[in-house]
A and B are shown apart, each in its own frame.
Chain A
Amino acid sequence: MKNLKEEFLEMLSGYQGILHKVSLIYFKNKEDREDNFQEIVYQLWKSYPKLKKKESIGSWIYAVSINTSISRLKKNGGVEYREKLPEQKHETDFTEKLLMNEQLRMLIHAIHKLSPVDKSIMLLYLEEKSYEEISQITGLTVSNVGVRINRAKKSLKQNLNHQNHDNR
């Protein structure tokens, strides 16, 4: 019989993409993303024994990841991440490859400009989560989820338009 830690690590291996994606939208800097990833792993481990419904693991991971990331942010405009210094500009983790995709790079940069709350809603929308699931993760009512998604999409579109305008 597997012990709890092994069971947790096995589960985490399958779902770690969520942790990477949440860290990517909340933190620009590689070191901050890595720190955040580690913190989420620890927070997940702390609440894993209390996880009752094993079928809703995905929602639980999103909730813990988003809450942990937000708790690491500070008030200064909603962003705590260290601004990139010129010598740090060259990414060395997997994001380097991701950012080679022009459209994805633009999308990620546009998401970075959203508020912390809109970031979480936009992420769940992009991950094609149902309104019920988004409601479960954020605590919003199902009817309010639709409103919030539309508003976040509008802000995102504006950010993308600004980027397109700047690139011209």
Chain B
Amino acid sequence: MTTDSLQNIWKNIDSGIEQKPKKELESILEKKIKKTMNKFYVSLGISMTISIGFLIFLIMAAIRKPDDILYQINNYLLSVLVLFALGSSIWSWYKLQYNKNNLPLKEWLELRIKWLSKWLYNKWVYFLLPVLFILTFFSLHFYNPYLSFTEVTENPESLIGILVGILVGGVVVFFVFRANRRSHRRKLEYLKELLEELCEKS
């Protein structure tokens, strides 16, 4: 088989392909739209429910301790960060989905790499995640309507609880965060390899 005859052999494929009727194509499209939207709404719904539930808890807990300024600052600051994190994650998800698949392969690869790198190596995450974790931990740990922020820390058992809680929670958050990023990093490496292969000269 010579390379010149390859195109002639390939032509046989056109007569062998079974064309799907228009009705079937319509059904494929409708099912796919429904499936994608459901997936989006489920993940959005879960994030929104958790975030709104948490925000309600933070505000209610702060209101229940009107004299404890430190606890109120902690909770209100955390509320702002939760809203910011929710907004930015929805925005990132939207940008990753809206990947302009109609671009030429090279441009499309460059764009995907750019977005994925931006998302993966965003320095805000490294600041935001520990702060969110510590503030959340404090909000839960100091949730005692009868004791103020400073009174709780006077108890030695409470201090041990803070240290153990931060340590255990920190390890859990670290591993979940790392596992989530690992698959994205692999995808990024793969895209970079493809771009390199596409751009390399003879």
A residues touching B (Cβ–Cβ < 8 Å)?
Answer: 5, 9-10, 12-13, 16-17, 20-21, 24, 37-39, 41-43, 45-47, 50-51, 60, 63-64, 66-68, 70-71, 73-75, 78, 93-95, 97-98, 101, 103-104, 106-107, 115-117, 120, 125-128, 136-140, 144, 147, 150-151, 153, 156-157, 160, 164
| CB < 8 Å A-B pair total | 143
Size class of the B contact interface (CB-based, 8 Å): 35 or more
Where chain A touches its partner, the secondary structure class is helix
- Binary flags per residue of B179-202, CB closer than 8 Å to A gives 1, else 0: 000000011011001100110011
Report if B50 contacts A (CB, 8 A). no
What are 16 A-B contacts with C-beta separation under 8 Å? A5-B29, A9-B29, A13-B20, A17-B14, A17-B17, A20-B17, A37-B28, A45-B29, A98-B16, A98-B17, A125-B7, A126-B7, A137-B104, A139-B198, A140-B198, A164-B1
In the complex, what residues of B have CB within 8 A of residue A128's CB?
7
Q: A16 and B12: CB pair below 8 A?
A: no
Select B32's contact among A12, A38, A103, A147, beta carbons within 8 Å. Answer: A38
In the complex, what residues of A have CB within 8 A of residue B187's CB?
74-75
Q: How far is the CA of A45 from the CA of B14 in the complex (A)?
A: 23
Knowing A138-B104, A139-B106 touch, does A74 contact B19 (C-beta < 8 A)? no
- Which are the 7 A-B pairs with shortest beta-carbon distances? A139-B106, A139-B104, A75-B190, A94-B18, A126-B10, A98-B16, A42-B32
